[in-house]
Amino acid sequence: MTAKPARSVDDAAAGTGSGGDIPRHVAIIMDGNGRWAQRRGLPRIAGHRKGIEAARAVVKTAGALGIEVLTLYAFSSENWSRPASEIADLMNLLRRFIRKELEALAGEGIRIRVIGNYQAFENDVVELIDSAIARTANNRKATLVVALNYGSQSEITDATRQIAADVQSGALAVGDITNEAIDARLSTHDLPPLDLLIRTSGEKRLSNFLLWQAAYAELLFTDTLWPDFGEDSLRQAIEEFTQRDRRYGGL
């Protein structure tokens, strides 16, 4: 099968080109903050702070490119195993990010969504997240999804429990358990299908992130540490995506 002509990243930013090749939904595993700091003889928190700057640049660039949904893996359900001091630092950065960036994101027409059990965080963090979601709920230009205390296996398990309960109550027949029925019970059910999943820092695994959603997503692994991943890095990743031939199991 011959790959169709790709719409360039510059075309997307300018609103020209044939259309259809720029991914609608991009997800990123933001990895490498600690190693970035370690290589510079800095505390890990310095890497996380620099990572916030990278996130800000990537959100801005995604909007300029016309990406509809950007999903960032910010805190996994496994991250609770980190030292308490580092978790406290991460929560403080989350507080600061919401307070500092919320109005700018809202003004740019970006809707904020959160996937994962963020209700497990401290009350003031939960209130800040709820406020950010409510403040941007009617925005339609683009969606920023932040995965907080998220684990894909737990998400799929919860969907399975919902299906079991629906079958038990008679609301769903066993024969109606389909891929679509499972997908409808995931936290991403109302988002476009995942097109591209990027992981930084050279690691080549999904780390319990969007396992179901990534079934036919394009995967891109880069050695760049997350704090060094900015506008140019995202543009290069999208450019590579436009060159790929997505066959979805066909010829």
Q: Is 201 annotated as a binding residue?
A: no
Q: Is 77 annotated as a binding residue?
A: yes
Q: Is 78 annotated as a binding residue?
A: yes
* Tokens describing residue 182: 């499972």
The H or E element that residue 1 is part of is: none
- Considering only CA atoms, give the Rg of the chain: 19
Q: CB of 187 within 8 A of CB of 162?
A: no
Q: Is 81 annotated as a binding residue?
A: no
Which of 11, 79, 158, 208 is the catalytic position?
79
Q: Is 31 annotated as a binding residue?
A: yes
Is 79 an active-site residue?
yes
Which of 11, 21, 31, 176 is the catalytic position?
31
Is 31 an active-site residue?
yes
Q: Is 86 annotated as a binding residue?
A: no
Q: Is 235 annotated as a binding residue?
A: no
* Tokens describing residue 53: 């700057």
Residues in the chain: 251
Q: Is 218 annotated as a binding residue?
A: yes
Q: Is 212 annotated as a binding residue?
A: no
Q: Is 251 annotated as a binding residue?
A: no
Q: Is 80 annotated as a binding residue?
A: yes
Q: Is 32 annotated as a binding residue?
A: yes
Q: Is 63 annotated as a binding residue?
A: no
What DSSP line would sit under the chain, residue for residue? -PPPPPPPHHHHHHT-SS-S-S-SEEEEE---HHHHHHTTT--HHHHHHHHHHHHHHHHHHHHHHT-SEEEEEEEEGGGGGS-HHHHHHHHHHHHHHHHHHHHHHHHTTEEEEEES-GGGS-HHHHHHHHHHHHHTTT--SEEEEEEEEE-HHHHHHHHHHHHHHHHHHTSS-GGG--HHHHHTTSTTTTSPPP-EEEE-TT----TTSSTTTTTT-EEEE-SS-GGG--HHHHHHHHHHHHHS---TT--
The Cα 15–Cα 25 span in angstroms is 17
Q: Is 85 annotated as a binding residue?
A: no
Catalytically active residues, by annotation: 31, 79
Binding site for Mg(2+), residues? 31, 218
Residue ranges at the known binding site: 31-36, 44, 48, 76-78, 80, 82, 199, 205-207, 218
Residues making up the annotated binding site for substrate are 32-36, 44, 48, 76-78, 80, 82, 199, 205-207
